[in-house]
Chains A and B, each alone.
Chain A
């Protein structure tokens, strides 16, 4: 896909999103309410309208081939790079999905092992050290010091003895 094609797709998608936002804003009054003032939908509605107009402007420039992006025939994301970017993005999505099931302390080490060992090709020694050390530091900092309880999923019972020690 070229940059020019990506520009068109992005403008169309954002245009659709603007229309959706306009529709959603209009669930509240978008005009002046007598004795009260501007309606709750007025501000987001008109801003979404400007968003839509801006997308129109981007499309207009696209049609008349104006600007560096609209005329660029370069590849949007180079194929040999796409693999890396996709791998990281998918790993992040899987990690977040796992937060709710095996908890942050189950998912994070997996993510760290994936990144350090398979993306970075680091030794198992370094990978293992960081995969254990980082979650431990996070537990101390966030859960003990800041008292922010992070999601644990099914691993929750394992932490009950720890809570007893610290709280």
Chain B
């Protein structure tokens, strides 16, 4: 405990270096903008902007990206409330009550509620994070290759068992990500592998950023172009009056929402840890529970401020929660953290429990930066609400070409090979077409990041056991994790059988 506080204090020393402080403020502001733009969320922002961070050292880079992550979670609420269009899927639940409030002329109240709830969610989760992470990392220190592999299976199994998408499409998405990550060279024998159509560009493998920017940059933008064309290019921006007096009144009223906010924070944090769950279901669940907890559940949907606070607290808490497995176990808890993890690999930092031992300055710098980012985002958010509302008025046709430009250069920068830019365009277009058919794409991005770690873990395990798969089941930690993974994997099947049994029972009677 005392040691943790000491380490955290060292982390703050890193954070207060002028360059890092500037990066946090820049990251929060950019994140708020990205989050506020309809269609763009933290994952798009982090994917598109990661190549820009090659400029600064790894600690600064991850602090910057984490601040974007944070800011985007706050910012998502702005377009949910002002436009009725969620800034990202994570802010869907915020539209339910945020939009009605805005229509009643109380947009400022909703925005302030969202900001304060986000701050509370962020604060509670970051404290939980600080005290959960070191013990978990400590336990994970004894993990060997079989445990690592079992954990990754568990991460993938959560998508099948809890993801809620079509099971075959989820499986397909996971496997295609893993196979694409195997392109290039076989790391153990050193032979070229899966050089598709014998194009030499595939010899250096497929960088995860090419897929991530393809899917979350190009693909997402094509999706938005379509939505934009469907909507006739018009948006319904609400008016907001922001005065000091109204702000203070709104803050006073927030006192009664504390229960919903605190519940959302804890729920969001724990749901956020699960790879397939994360901020979107976390905030939807928080909304549902807040409604049940409320003394006036009928008000929900017509502009209940609790209905804004609970999901906003949850989605911010979830973003912190998803960092826990990434830092301690090397398993990302969300697509955004998957991209952060991929970035860490580029910067030469091996994710996993050793990080806490070998790069403690990096880890604690990041954790401390979350505290700072949380505070800065709240301040920037409340101070600049009118500015963010103006941003929403920027025509999409100005933002779109700028984002496309960033994508094209972001696809080129990591490897400096035109082959990758082409590949990114292909991923973007195919990803867009698949998304229209409800193929989940997050598992593929997670898989392409984890693939290069999962395969050696499996092969090393099998070499240790001389080919027996029992090694994944008869070890103290690997066994239960693997069993949990298998249970999750077959959960949809059990459910189907159960439903069928229930359906046939009355007929038999």
B179-210 contacts to A (CB < 8 Å): 179, 182, 186, 188-189, 191, 193-196
Given the complex, which residues of B lie within 8 Å of A67, measured CB to CB?
166
Q: Is B462 an interface residue (CB 8 A)?
A: yes
Q: Is B297 an interface residue (CB 8 A)?
A: no
Are A32 and B408 neighbours in the complex by a CB distance under 8 Å? no
Q: A54-B172, A58-B169, A77-B226 are in contact. Are A40 and B191 (CB under 8 A)?
A: yes
A27-82 contacts to B (CB < 8 Å): 27-28, 32, 37-44, 47-48, 50-51, 53-55, 57-58, 61, 67-69, 76-78, 80-81
Given the complex, which residues of A lie within 8 Å of B404, measured CB to CB?
88, 92, 111, 115
> Chain B interface residue count: which class?
35 or more
Complex partner residue of B397 from A81, A96, A119, A134, CB under 8 angstroms: A119
Complex partner residue of B54 from A47, A55, A138, A146, CB under 8 angstroms: A146
> In the bound complex, how far is the Cα of B178 from the Cα of A37, in angstroms?
20
Q: Is B138 an interface residue (CB 8 A)?
A: no
Are A81 and B191 neighbours in the complex by a CB distance under 8 Å? no
Q: A37-B188, A58-B172 are in contact. Are A44 and B418 (CB under 8 A)?
A: no
Closest to B227 in A: A81
Among B23-31, B298-306, B434-442, the stretch that binds chain A is B434-442
Closest to A20 in B: B196
Q: Is B255 an interface residue (CB 8 A)?
A: no
Are B230 and A81 neighbours in the complex by a CB distance under 8 Å? yes
> Binding site of A, secondary structure by majority: helix, strand, loop or mixed?
helix
Among B129-137, B336-344, B360-368, B421-429, the stretch that binds chain A is B421-429
Are A6 and B436 neighbours in the complex by a CB distance under 8 Å? yes
Complex partner residue of A93 from B400, B412, B425, B438, CB under 8 angstroms: B425
Closest to A119 in B: B397
Are A57 and B167 neighbours in the complex by a CB distance under 8 Å? yes
Are A142 and B409 neighbours in the complex by a CB distance under 8 Å? yes
> In the bound complex, how far is the Cα of B412 from the Cα of A100, in angstroms?
12
Are A37 and B459 neighbours in the complex by a CB distance under 8 Å? yes
Complex partner residue of B400 from A58, A100, A115, A141, CB under 8 angstroms: A115
The number of residues on chain A lying at the interface, defined by a beta carbon within 8 Å of a beta carbon of chain B, is: 71
B93 to chain A, nearest CB (A): 22
Are B398 and A130 neighbours in the complex by a CB distance under 8 Å? yes
Q: A41-B193, A67-B166, A96-B425 are in contact. Are A111 and B413 (CB under 8 A)?
A: no
Complex partner residue of A28 from B176, B189, B230, CB under 8 angstroms: B189
Complex partner residue of A122 from B167, B398, B434, CB under 8 angstroms: B398
Are A115 and B397 neighbours in the complex by a CB distance under 8 Å? yes
Q: Is A136 an interface residue (CB 8 A)?
A: no
Are B421 and A99 neighbours in the complex by a CB distance under 8 Å? yes
Are A50 and B175 neighbours in the complex by a CB distance under 8 Å? yes
Complex partner residue of B194 from A25, A50, A122, CB under 8 angstroms: A25
A1-43 contacts to B (CB < 8 Å): 3, 6-7, 10, 14, 20-21, 24-25, 27-28, 32, 37-43
Are A44 and B412 neighbours in the complex by a CB distance under 8 Å? no
Q: Is B501 an interface residue (CB 8 A)?
A: no
Are B405 and A138 neighbours in the complex by a CB distance under 8 Å? yes
Are A47 and B179 neighbours in the complex by a CB distance under 8 Å? yes
Q: Is B455 an interface residue (CB 8 A)?
A: yes
B462-488 contacts to A (CB < 8 Å): 462-463, 467
B430 to chain A, nearest CB (A): 9
A99-129 contacts to B (CB < 8 Å): 99-100, 104, 108, 111-112, 115-116, 119-122, 126
Closest to A4 in B: B437
> In the bound complex, how far is the Cα of B409 from the Cα of A99, in angstroms?
11
Are A111 and B229 neighbours in the complex by a CB distance under 8 Å? no
Closest to A27 in B: B193
> In the bound complex, how far is the Cα of B408 from the Cα of A160, in angstroms?
24
Complex partner residue of A54 from B175, B409, B425, B458, CB under 8 angstroms: B175
The 3 lowest CB-CB distance pairs between A and B, nearest first, are A120-B397, A40-B186, A57-B168
23 contacts between A and B (CB under 8 A): A10-B434, A10-B439, A25-B179, A37-B459, A37-B463, A41-B186, A41-B193, A43-B455, A44-B178, A44-B194, A47-B175, A58-B172, A81-B226, A81-B230, A84-B226, A85-B226, A92-B218, A93-B425, A99-B421, A130-B398, A142-B413, A145-B55, A151-B418
